[in-house]
Amino acid sequence: MAETTTAAAEEERNFVAHFKEQQISPPDEIQQNPKNGGLGASSRNLSVRDFELVRTLGTGTFARVWLVRLANPAEEDRDKVFALKVLRKVEVIKLKQVDHVNHERSVLSDVAGHPFITTLITSFSDHDSLYMLGFLDYNSNVDSLANVGTRMGLVYGWLYQWIGLQVLDTANGVLRYSKNGKAFRMNGTLGPQWALPTSVFAQAGKMGTGDLDPYEANEDFLLLRPFISPESEDMMTFVISKLTRSIPEMIPLLLAETTTAFRENFAPEDASGMDGEGWTHTCLFQHVNISLAKIVSRILCGEKYSSDAVWVNNVATFARGIFFSGMLLRRLPRWSHGLVAPWMKTTKQVAVIEKMVTEDVRGLVSGGVTGEDYERGVILPMLVEDVRGKKAFEGKGEEELLWGVNNRICRFFFATVDTTTLTFTHILYDVIGHKKELYVEPMRREIRDVSKKFGGVWNRESIGELKSLDAFMRESQRLHPLGYTLGSRKVAKKEGLDFISKGEDGEKVIHIPYGERIEGLAWAIHQDAEHYEDADVFKGFRTRDETIAGSNPSERFMSFGYGRHACPGRYVALTIEKIMLIEFLMNYDWKEIERLKDWSFGWNNIPDMASKVHIRRLSEEEVEKLWE
């Protein structure tokens, strides 16, 4: 009997390892196809001992999802990884979720083998737990999966943990992305996509937009064009040659507006949720979002706008909402976008921005107002001159120039407010998610020392000496990049592109056809033990003593992209974030909590946008003592 059981278990292990060889069928043929007979079925022989637990992908009220691989696998199966959902029986019964769990397993079993749905390979149980073993095919459709979750009543946390794994099979990328200099191709939700080894990054990093197009690649995912004209997509020259050089003039405005924004939004004195001890139980994400809308409005358009609550609230909701509008539009055929977008809230928000700013832009365009009439450090006059100098606007009239400037204002708000909100919220969660003596106290000490050295003056030089803050922010971005994959580009040359990869087997030519995408597996690279010791552990000062600046992308740090395709606005973003972090560290207290889990939407890795934390603004006496 023991031999029979062992043989059966080995047969089921082999099925798990090679399940992808089963036939993927149309929905109405799934159950009829005999090759799919085993998919989704319960196992009587497998146990948790048949798998090696690699790391936790996510946790829920009564379940945990693990990244696993087969224990003692055959040589050809070493790189195969799966997701194992573990449900604790006691908690399932206690929370009266038995019917829910049975329903979940039944639905996933029924659709196992469907080309657009999570593949449940098998399920099994032991005395303490229930187990569901799954894999996400490269052709899985994220939107369809989310839709099934909505209609079938499945657990959202479970679905999005699967979605996070689905992104170009990122977990598999941890094991494969740079090993032996190999590239691998998959059919993602946006078409054919390539994950490239680090050995070809230098080649890709030197190529311009004529070879690797960022605009079409980003549009496939973001879908901004129904709301913002593509004419303003190429702002790289403006950002690099003009905006970055203006950082010294912007810093005084950033300092003043950050203080104001935090006073108004981070546990203000009149906060309705403040308890008797002065603590406010609140969602940090919302405060970061509105504060950044206010701060960016100050440097882009001036104090007139940053002090206007209607303007600031509209900018904040626009910058975040346009992302979700794109997600909704992706569910619809592309031909319908132009018909649907005008009815969406984002279109109305764009109209509000344009209506409110048009008078001042018109004054600059007509020459009735000049840059000297604006506060030093405000970008708007410089932006108007940049548009006026574009070849596309040579000989154009006032209305065309006005349209060009307004278009860029909207794009600037999206690019700056949205991404910085996500990044800085991640940073704050890392601040409050660790003991103060580990990181906060050393960072506060560094702020005091640098301030004293420069006579209390914050400028580009003094801010640049905050090495501990640099390292902390970089480590937060390493473990919490905004996307599991970053740096998406489309091959723009009709003949395709050839890359030379170098691995253990020597040099090899990788040919990528026209129109296909390349991706940098940021999450996988950042989790690689070859690049980082204890790669899955947050070490806030990991890079403090390195000579490489936090703004410099590299083959092992991809949060800002790489080479010529690195984010041109990273210097401005890091300056804003560092000033905001100084404000928070030196004027606030908080109750430490376990680091909040990230949310996964498609290939996006965003901070928790709903959970609340306890914060309070320090009294004047406490602030003075902190600076001593």
Residues making up the binding site: 85, 567
Q: What is the CA radius of gyration of the chain?
A: 26
Cα–Cα distance, 400 to 395 (Å, whole number): 10
Residues in the chain: 628
For residues 489 and 564, is the Cβ–Cβ distance under 8 A? Answer: no
**Tokens at residue 557, please?**
């740090």
Could you list the residues known to form a binding site for ATP, using ranges. Answer: 85
Point out the annotated binding site for heme.
Answer: 567
d(CA 166, CA 259) in angstroms, rounded, equals 41
Q: Tell me what percent of the chain is helix, strand and coil, each rounded to the nearest 5.
A: 50, 15, 35
User: What sign does the dihedral 285-288-294-295 (CA atoms) show?
Assistant: negative
Tell me if 124 sits within 8 A of 100, measured CB to CB.
no
**CA 585, CA 603: separation in Å to the nearest integer?**
31
What letters, b where the CB count within 10 A reaches 16 and e where it falls short, cover 146-180? bebbeeeebbebbbbbbbbbbbbbbbbbbbbbbee
> CA neighbours within 13 Å on the CB side: how many for 94?
8
CB 469 within 8 A of CB 443: yes
Angle at 91 between CA 90 and CA 95, to 5 degrees: 120
Measured CA distances, 133 to 19, 83, 121, 341, 524 (Å)? 12, 6, 6, 40, 22
DSSP annotation of 64:
E
Question: In angstroms, how far is CA 456 from the centroid of its own chain?
Answer: 35
Rounded Cα gap, residues 358 and 377, in angstroms? 20
Alpha helix ranges (H) inside 266-344: 284-300, 303-306, 309-329, 337-340
